[in-house]
Amino acid sequence: MLIVALAAHGRAVRFTPTRFRLARVPEILRFSSHFLVIQAAMLLYGRADAILIQAFLPVAAVGLYAVAARVTEKAGAFCRQLTNALTPALARAAAGDQDEMIRLYVEQARRSMAIATPVLLGLGLLAAPLVEAWMGPAFSPAV
């Protein structure tokens, strides 16, 4: 993504071997190993339910669960976008006035709830017809 962004601005990304420092490799590997562990933990956290369901239930149950999980993941992603939109303002406020940061955070939480609650309630009420239209009647038990 960074390469694309730089290329779009007319800058080329160049690798210059003369700037490579072998002494920095252990530091890079230490950082990378921590990042790898974090990414693996996030993957396991995000998929632990599916792994357990696959271990104990038949494949048909896994398919039903996957549909329901997908709907809730999309709803969660929607709610996260509401929060992410205000993150830059919160970061600016955190650098200066702590009271302003708290005020912005509370305001953001209220607005997120005001937007997300009716959307999620509507999704819950319309889940059965939505899943049936999306996946067909065979997946109705997923709701």
pLDDT per position as a tens digit, 15-62: 677 777 888 888 888 878 888 888 888 888 878 887 888 888 888 888
pLDDT per position as a tens digit, 75-132: 888 878 877 877 787 777 777 777 887 888 888 888 888 888 888 888 888 888 888 8
Terminal Cα distance for the chain, rounded: 37
CB 89 within 8 A of CB 104: yes
Q: Of 126, 118, 122, 57, whose CA–CA distance to 66 is shortest?
A: 57
Give the pair of three-digit tokens for residue 13: 């990304």
User: How long is the chain?
Assistant: 143
Give the separation between CA 88 and CA 77, rounded to whole angstroms: 18
**pLDDT of 15:** 65
Radius of gyration of the chain (CA): 23
Here the contacts of 100-105 (C-beta below 8 Å, separation 24 or greater) are none
- Estimate to the nearest angstrom the gap between the alpha carbon of 130 and the chain centroid: 23
Q: Please give the single-letter amino acid code of residue 60.
A: A
Q: Look at residue 2 and tell me whether its pLDDT is greater than 50.
A: no
15 sits in the region (left: phi over 0; alpha: psi -120 to 50; else beta) called beta
**pLDDT of 11:** 55
CB 90 within 8 A of CB 104: yes
Give the separation between CA 143 and CA 124, rounded to whole angstroms: 9
